[in-house]
Structure 1
Amino acid sequence: MTRQTSLVPRLLTLASLAALSQAELGKIQWKGSCNLTTYPALICGTLDVPYDYTESNSSKTLTLDIAKWPATKKPVSEPIIFNFGGPGVNSFEGLGLYGEEFQAILGGHNDLIAFNNRGVGNTIPFSCYSDDATRELVALQAPNDGRASSTALGEIWAQNANIAQACYATNNQTGSLIGTSFAARDIMQVADALSGKDSLVNYWGFSYGTTIGAVLAAMFPDRMGNVALDGVDNPREALYGYNAQAVVDVDKVFEGFCTGCMAAPDLCPIAKEYTSAANLEAAIYLMLENLKYNPIAIPETGGIVTWSDVKSTIFEAMYLPSSWPLTSELLYYVQTRNTTILGNSEVYDTIKSYGQSASLTSASDEVGTAITCSDKHRSATIKEVLPYVKARQALTKIGSDGSDGDMRCAQWNPKMFAKERYSGDFEVKTANPVLILSNTYDPATPLPAAKNLTETFEGSVLLEQNGYGHTTLSMPSLCTAKAVRAYFTNGTLPADGTICQVDVPLFTNLTYKDVWPKSFQRSVESRDDATILKALMSVRDKMSRRRMCIYLYTNSASWRPELP
């Protein structure tokens, strides 16, 4: 099917953009600690950058908020810029949460830098609704997956017509100023201010941060220093297509969940009724199918637990194996239809938050689809979108069919299409080779996407981590972390075809002290390895608590009875 392009405005070419006059090199104005209570080590500052890179004669600027986690050791090497993905993730928050761990992983000799993309935080904030109550009401108007019922796809289309209109009504003056190409240009402005106009850019991007990184490398190949892309989204599909490739390995990750569950029944209560991983997997699929026609009534809340709620909770858990023991408990209570546990406010709210449609749980989710839709430059009818939704449905049972995002982008107002969209290819040779990282089984950015990008970036190397989850940070691996450190320290790439093993099993309650025997901590090298492993496990645990809702962990005593 030919994509409809009649409403797409003429795009500026890279050549013409290169000729645009740029704002004079600015300086970052460092202000001191961002928050002495929450992130005392994080330093905040501001930098003025061009407001609109396509307006060659304009002097209007935009103020970026910059965060820095200072190097902890001397000598201090060139800074590393981070992007934690999304789209729409608050990178300030990411660096504040994980900065200490990243310094330990990387060796402490670099300033770590992050700033929020346009649309996030204070940087041209993007929000479609004025309050969460309205947002939740809109989210309840349709399921979050077109397979929920025979009428779901039509409901999702209508709901997203309303969302797209609401987004335009509140952001029509600035919606075209967000997008991946402007994000890449902002990175160059930050790099210029940090190290000078001819400096090389050191960058570590995760998930959507790899799309920004790929565009950055394609637009400015001669300025690339050490660039690591972890959890690769196929940039061609992410920018121009429907990205069905994103879900090709979701069900393989779920197979890993079932295999790990059967291998550790003490940590996976749902395993006790089954004799094999295949039997468990089939039983969970059957349970999901039954929920379509027999959802669970929850008298305590007056609500119901549906197919969409439970399937989406499983999909969310596939991102982080450290959340799998908790997820298995939730599935056990769904399978046994335990309305007392499911009616607990923490449990019920968590499950329902994943089942809400259109990912409208906060303004940050709205900006995520806004960046995606502004990049795609696509208007389409429901008839044109449906084949792509059906194709994704055929690729995964557990993963999202993407109908809400596809249908929103199809109805996105063309006046909010990104003013610049990179339209070149990714067959580029960068000044220094790129390091690409991927888990063997990733539910959102699969290994095939990483392989595709490795083939297009000349000289790049793919490091595969033999694990599950989204990005290599989802499972601790000293092998992977030491390879990343070597790359950022002196540009050393792992051998082509390197596969790193992980250091913890899938279902585990092991702590750092359990994984790292004290007898190994005698040499300087082993003490350093211990520091790295401790940092990796800390990142994993923090990510798990954030993804599966922190109150399920902190208030677990309020809902977790003794399991049989």
Structure 2
Amino acid sequence: MTPLSSVSLLFGFVSLSVVLAQGTSEFDWNSIQPSTNFSWVDCYSGFQCARFKAPLDYSNPENGQSAAIAVVKLAAQAPVSEYGGPIFTNPGGPGVSGVNTVLEAGQFIQSVVGTQFDIIGFDPRGVNNTTPRISFFNTDAERLTFLLDERADLNSTPEALPESWARYQVAGQLAQSRDNGSHLKFVTTADVARDMLGMSESLGQENLQYWEFSYGTFLGSVFATMFPDRIERLVIDGVLDMDAWLANDLGGLVNDTDKTMQWFFDGCHAAGPENCAFYASSPAKIEAALDDIYDSLRSQPLPVFLNSDLYGVLTYDTLRSIIMVALYTPPLFPLLAQGLAEVQAGNGTTLLELLSAVSADGNSTEAVTAIECGDSDPFNADASQLREYMSRINSTFAGMLGMPLMNRCAGWKIHPEHRFKGPAGAANTSHPLLVIGNTADPATPLANAKKTSLSFPGSVLLTQDSPGHTSFITRSTCTRQHIAAYFANGTLPEEGTVCSLDAPLFPTSANATVSESPRSFLELPIPALSLFAGSPGAGGIAKRSSSIKVSSH
């Protein structure tokens, strides 16, 4: 892409992985005939692809309308005698491409669960390569124009929230008026749960095996509620509050975000000036230095020009986006510290380079809105009511994550009667769930995992003592061993198990800045959120290759 006029990080809610700057090779999905039986064809490099044909309307499956679900498989590597079947995964969003996630991260997922399993990724209804596709903008240019004034933090200026509220009132009307095929009412999470059951059965797996992340935990919990006797293995990792999600009461998403930020302050101080470029003599002074940068950017955004391939403006809102990406992805803490230290010296190159390395699936803006808002109850709050709600959120991130979603849903008009309405939970499931939560997850607080585990008796909560969104992004051999044992033989950890990270997030020597894997930052599957607006103040950022490296897998 040539220079962007907006950083497109607002697409999706919470996601396991993002499409990185180098992207993936082209593949013509239209070359595959949709079928209820999987007919795999070689695609990309080392993967197989298929399109699964599912009824568009499960209440009237014979009406001739269907969805073609794009599916990718990373085949098992173990001998046939050890084959463990398919494991489905969902990266979250809603609206993030499961196909792209497996292309980027499938080998890593397989390395955790075991090479005896196929790893299956799919684009849910309306998303990316699946048809019909959610879109209420006619062109990319129209979409970009609509998003130019998006803000990551609706608390950043007095105008941010009411202007965004008005914009999404228009978006809701636009979606309704352009839904000529009446497809938007058939992209609910309940529809996707039925699709998963059909796909699992078609692959010869009567009971589902699934490792899901973030919004994917809502999908998994819906599946477990609707089909409690059809579970072989089900891991939910980075868990949403089901009731809050359905009620569009999302202020609690940021309940632990400041805890994640504190991990950065504490970790930087503990690492010392040699290992943290943003070091100060106490965590409180590091926090104060960041506040000074916020104040400075509010009064005077920082122009950045490295060359004709990397340029832009670092604004307060852009920095908030970058901070949230790092909170989702703590292996980026050392890089964030370096970038902040450079900003103190008047150089925003590293931070804009970091942000430019991350992009999102093309229709994620529409998908996250249509799926989450269509799943939830009608929500008719006006801007003043939302502002009052935001004022009660006890977090320095009150205007991020949940608030933009609630704001979008205030304008949404389509709430299908067949959507899952709750309550979530099941007295008995055919196999107990494994629930995973981090102690400082910036988007899905640990309390959500505890609550959800109680909704599914027999399930066990595994706690990972770490910051970041989902257990996936930081390395804990303890956590990964429990996940592998669960998929291999159904073994659950003991109640109260807490797993630690293998190493500090800030390196303890210069040699520790390179990952165990030789892959560069742009080659790592990293989780990032996209609900927060990619700030137009970063206009002109271009994507280019990078040699940035971080500690991770």
- Normalising by the residue count of structure 1, what TM-score does the alignment of the two structures yield? 0.80
Contact 1:157 1:407 in 2 (8 A): yes
> 1:248, 1:349 → 2: CA distance?
29
Structure 1 residues 254 and 211: alpha-carbon distance in aligned structure 2, compared to 1, 3 A threshold:
same
Partner of 1:285: 291
Contact 2:390 2:398 in 1 (8 A): no
Q: Map 1:181-260 onto structure 2 (within 5 A).
A: 181-195=190-204, 199-260=206-267
The range that moved more, 458-467 or 257-266, is 257-266
Higher Rg: 1
Contact 1:177 1:419 in 2 (8 A): no
Higher RCO, 1 or 2 (CA under 8 Å, sep at least 6)? 2
Partner of 1:385: 386
Structure 1 residues 538 and 220: alpha-carbon distance in aligned structure 2, compared to 1, 3 A threshold:
farther
Contact 1:305 1:352 in 2 (8 A): no
Q: Shift of residue 470 of structure 1? A: 0.6
Partner of 2:403: 403
What amino acid maps onto 2:72 in structure 1? A
Partner of 2:506: 507
What amino acid maps onto 1:390 in structure 2? S
> 1:258, 1:28 → 2: CA distance?
52
Partner of 1:422: 420
Contact 2:127 2:133 in 1 (8 A): yes
SS of corresponding position for 2:298? helix
SS of corresponding position for 2:447? helix
- For 2:72, which of 61, 67, 70 is the aligned residue? 67
> 1:369, 1:238 → 2: CA distance?
13
Partner of 2:172: 164
Contact 2:152 2:320 in 1 (8 A): no
Q: Percent same amino acid among aligned pairs?
A: 32
Q: Map 1:68-217 onto structure 2 (within 5 A).
A: 68-74=73-79, 75-123=82-130, 124-172=132-180, 173-195=182-204, 199-217=206-224
> 1:470, 1:508 → 2: CA distance?
20
Q: Shift of residue 154 of structure 1? A: 1.6
Q: Shift of residue 312 of structure 1? A: 1.9
> 2:351, 2:177 → 1: CA distance?
35
> C-alpha deviations, 1:17-55, integer Å up to 9, x for none?
xxxxxxxxx7423232122xxxx2211122221111132
SS of corresponding position for 1:554? coil
The range that moved more, 214-223 or 420-429, is 420-429
Q: Shift of residue 539 of structure 1? A: 10
Q: Shift of residue 493 of structure 1? A: 0.3
Structure 1 residues 289 and 183: alpha-carbon distance in aligned structure 2, compared to 1, 3 A threshold:
same
Q: Map 1:325-344 onto structure 2 (within 5 A).
A: 325-338=334-347, 342=348
Partner of 2:444: 445
What amino acid maps onto 1:406 in structure 2? M
> 1:491, 1:134 → 2: CA distance?
49
> C-alpha deviations, 1:183-224, integer Å up to 9, x for none?
11111111111126xx21111111111110000000110111
Contact 2:325 2:528 in 1 (8 A): no
Q: Shift of residue 60 of structure 1? A: 3.0
Q: Shift of residue 257 of structure 1? A: 0.6
Structure 1 residues 229 and 370: alpha-carbon distance in aligned structure 2, compared to 1, 3 A threshold:
same
Q: Shift of residue 291 of structure 1? A: 2.8
SS of corresponding position for 1:433? coil
> C-alpha deviations, 1:53-72, integer Å up to 9, x for none?
13265343322222211111
> 2:286, 2:345 → 1: CA distance?
14
The range that moved more, 232-241 or 131-140, is 131-140
SS of corresponding position for 2:421? coil
After superposition, the CA RMSD in angstroms is 3.3
What amino acid maps onto 2:524 in structure 1? K
Paired residues in the alignment total 495
Contact 1:31 1:43 in 2 (8 A): yes
What amino acid maps onto 1:476 in structure 2? R
Structure 2 residue runs of 5 or longer lacking an equivalent are 1-34, 535-540, 549-553
> 1:361, 1:41 → 2: CA distance?
22
Q: Shift of residue 134 of structure 1? A: 3.0
Partner of 1:520: none
> 1:353, 1:104 → 2: CA distance?
25
SS of corresponding position for 2:525? helix
Q: Map 1:37-76 onto structure 2 (within 5 A).
A: 40-55=45-60, 58-74=63-79, 75-76=82-83
Q: Shift of residue 418 of structure 1? A: 3.4
Q: Shift of residue 350 of structure 1? A: 5.7
> 1:422, 1:384 → 2: CA distance?
26
Partner of 1:472: 471
> 1:325, 1:48 → 2: CA distance?
46
SS of corresponding position for 2:408? helix
Structure 1 residues 515 and 292: alpha-carbon distance in aligned structure 2, compared to 1, 3 A threshold:
closer
SS of corresponding position for 2:493? coil
> 1:551, 1:126 → 2: CA distance?
27
Structure 1 residues 423 and 238: alpha-carbon distance in aligned structure 2, compared to 1, 3 A threshold:
same
> C-alpha deviations, 1:415-442, integer Å up to 9, x for none?
x323521123223121111000111110
> 1:139, 1:492 → 2: CA distance?
47
